[in-house]
Structure 1
Amino acid sequence: MKITIIGGSKGTGAQLASLAHAADFDVTALSRSGTAPDGVRAIAGDATNPAVVADAVSGADAVVVTVGGTKGAAQPRTAITESVIAAMQETGVRRLVIQSSLGAGESITQLPALMRPIIKLLLGKALADHTEQEAVVRASGLDWTIVRPTSLNDKQPTGSWTALRVGEEGKISGSISRGDLAACILESVTDHSTIGGALGVSG
């Protein structure tokens, strides 16, 4: 299976690239730096440029967007996701998974009530970007899945996590390691039951 990761040079994206390569995926990573884990095809470029993204996603079976904020940009995640969607529509790639954040959109209800105003205060701009990013994804007509992690840490992966849609019984709290989040995203890529769903994820 061929997978393209937008933002695969560090953090969750790099861990995802490593996991996918170890699982015998054919992996391409697009980032500004053009760096990627061993065995991964690395492309340097601006992910807000659909022509650059089209080169990276052409022939892929799935695309994953896992990008953070960009200094000086108002809604960088949304801009990149719009570019990715345009490139996927142009090249005929349908499977899209994006990393958003718990608290975006209706997922604010998955947070403990006392935490909601604090999260909005501390992460308001980022969550607004993620909420708009999710809206763009939902309107794309692609086979999409949204993954919304709680706060991230760099602890050793445990190999387990909780993934719940809004309204499902269970608890989303605490944090999740980047390694476990990467494994959850990789599992979601091939799990077609997640298509059209947004998953709140915690460790």
Structure 2
Amino acid sequence: MMFRVALLLTTLLSANAFQSALPTRVGSSSSSSLCMSTIAVIGASGLTAQECVYRALEQGYDVVGLTRNPANVVIPQGSGGAKAGQPLVNDKLTVIGGDVTKKEDVAKVFEAADDIEGVIIALGGKTADVGESMLTDGTSNVIAAMKDKGIKRMAVVTSIGAGDSESQAPFMFKMLMMTVMKKIFVDKNNQEKVTQASGLDYCIVRPGGLTVEPPTGIINVIDGEAGSITRADVAEFCLDAVTMPDFPYLQQAPCISSVGGTSWTKDRSAKARGEGTM
């Protein structure tokens, strides 16, 4: 089931204005969608990236994914239900095995389809396995390839606590950031810097505590301490970031969770899904 999204604006002029602000997905008669053909997902076998791939396919997009481990691209636990863990096979999905730190591997993603209009970067892995600068180097390679192809829209998943959001991280998570996760946060912070300097239409997505529960449809942009959020809901926010022409958090780095805040939510009504309409 495809969800439509509604931005909760504090200065709505009328109910009619609110209804006209509701964007739609591909397949709708509305002109407010970017009508994308293909989304690229970098790091496609990661838990959040799997959700991005799966939910994009469910919404009718073609997907090109890059991962070091193509066999690990499976149906995700949160959105996949009883099919979770099974190989993710779809005629609209192309998975490329490669290393994001190698420019030639990244180039293969953008050679696989000539209609990629948005990119989701959801990289992960232990520093000991992927190196201390994989996030920064890989993101830099993707940015260069996007510029070469004239692709502008990008969502980059980092973390609560990255950049200027340290105060929004829960106390125990701050302790981890300063100890066992210190190196990876140096990389995340540098990753955010190269994204902010890219000149692209980016959104840096900083989720709170990640879970693999089913999607809730509730995604709040918060100013205070972050709560938890499902990876499926993070994926939905990322898809909005690269598909909505009027996405309100471009050139920003919002912290998102399903607890706290009132800036963003999913409209799950029948009307929002287009049921009962022409």
User: TM-score w.r.t. structure 2 length?
Assistant: 0.66
Match of 1:167 in 2: none
**Structure 1 residue 79, shift from structure 2 partner:** 1.3
- Counterpart AA for 1:125: K
**What is the alpha-carbon root mean square deviation over aligned residues?**
1.8
Structure 2: unaligned runs, 5 residues or longer: 1-35, 74-87, 259-278
Indicate if the aligned counterparts of 1:54 and 1:88 stay in contact, CA closer than 8 A.
no
Residue in structure 1 matched with residue 50 of structure 2 by the alignment: 14
Where does residue 92 of structure 1 map in the other structure? Answer: 150
The match for 1:133 is 191
Provide the residue aligned with 2:123 in structure 1.
67
Q: What residue number does 1:193 align with?
A: 248
Specify the SS of the correspondent of 1:181.
helix
Comparing 188-197 with 26-35, greater Cα deviation is found at 188-197
Distance (Å, rounded) in 2 between the aligned partners of 1:195 and 1:132? 19
Aligned length, in residue pairs? 197
Match status 1:26 vs 2:93: no
TM-score (norm 1): 0.89
Structure 2 letter corresponding to 1:6:
I
C-alpha contact 2:219 2:256 (8 A) present in aligned 1 = yes
Instruction: Tell me, in whole angstroms, the C-alpha distance in 1 between the residues paired with 2:123 and 2:167.
Output: 24
Note the C-alpha offset of 1:34. 2.3
Shift of 1:54: 2.0
> C-alpha separation between the residues in 2 aligned to 1:172 and 1:161?
15
The runs of at least 4 aligned residues of structure 1 exceeding 6 Å deviation read none
Which is higher, the Rg of structure 1 or of structure 2? 2
* Equivalent pair of 1:101/1:148 in contact (CA under 8 Å): yes
1:10 and 1:46 map into 2 onto residues whose CA distance is 14
User: Unpaired runs of 5+ in structure 1?
Assistant: 165-169
In 2, are the aligned partners of 1:54 and 1:91 still within 8 Å (CA)? no
Q: How many angstroms apart in 2 are the aligned matches of 1:14 and 1:96?
A: 17
Matched, 1:76 2:134: yes
Report the identity percentage.
34
Q: 1:63 Cα deviation (Å)?
A: 0.7
Partners in 2 of 1:72 and 1:180 — Cα distance?
26
The alpha-carbon distance between structure 1 residues 201 and 52, as it changes in their structure 2 partners (threshold 3 A), is same
Contact 1:30 1:56 (C-alpha < 8 Å) held by counterparts: yes
Q: How far apart, in 1, do the equivalents of 2:237 and 2:225 lie?
A: 15
Offset at residue 175 of structure 1 (A): 1.5
How far residue 105 of structure 1 moved from its aligned partner, in angstroms, is 0.9
Displacement of 1:44 in angstroms is: 0.8
User: Once the 2 structures are TM-superposed, how far is the Cα of residue 179 of structure 1 from its aligned partner?
Assistant: 1.2
Paired residues of 2:43 and 2:67 also in contact (CA < 8 A): yes
